[in-house]
Amino acid sequence: MKGRTILLCLAGAGVILAAVFLAPSSREAEAGYSSDTVKELVSYLEGDAAFNLKLQALDALRKKTDTGVESDLEKLAKGDDVKLAIFVTTALGKKGTADAKKKLKSLLENGDLDIKVRIGAMSAIAYHWKDSGDLTYLEKKSKGNTTLSSRYAWLAKHVYGK
């Protein structure tokens, strides 16, 4: 019984922390997050929170910042949490900024990253820009890697219709 009470208290504390981190004031909701809030969200994403709460924080970070968060997102994508890094590539794609695209290309070209993160970057470029010049770029960057080449072929067919 005592263990169950402790678990309920911890779960309640997690919900309260998520509400504090994720609920902007009415002023911030209109203007976007302050730089301090962005730093807190990035710190939260780097921490040991439950994965579903990290995804909520990531989505809030993507939606409530106009620009300037791309470098923070790239840093997260280069981190040790591969599953989170894949979602970060999607968030960068959804940002749709020129800087986000540059960061995605950097992630794709980084041979030290897990292949799943590189595939995420490749897919985000294809889905969120659909630029024919990018198709040539993706083909060039996938040469010599069978996994990336396979993903390129799928993207060329299903996204670009080639």
pTM: 0.76
User: Which of 79, 75, 44, 78 lies closest to 58 in space, CA to CA?
Assistant: 44
Domain extents for the chain? 1-65, 72-162
**Per-residue DSSP letters for 47-64?**
TT--HHHHHHHHHHHHHT
pLDDT at 4 exceeding the cut of 60: no
- The predicted-structure confidence for 32-90, as pLDDT tens digits, reads as follows 566 788 888 889 999 999 999 999 999 988 887 766 789 899 999 999 999 999 999 99
Cα separation of 158 and 122, whole Å?
A: 14
User: Which of 26, 21, 55 lies closest to 38 in space, CA to CA?
Assistant: 21
State which amino acid sits at residue 116.
K
- The predicted-structure confidence for 127-139, as pLDDT tens digits, reads as follows 999 888 999 999 9
Residue with tokens 């659909």: 130
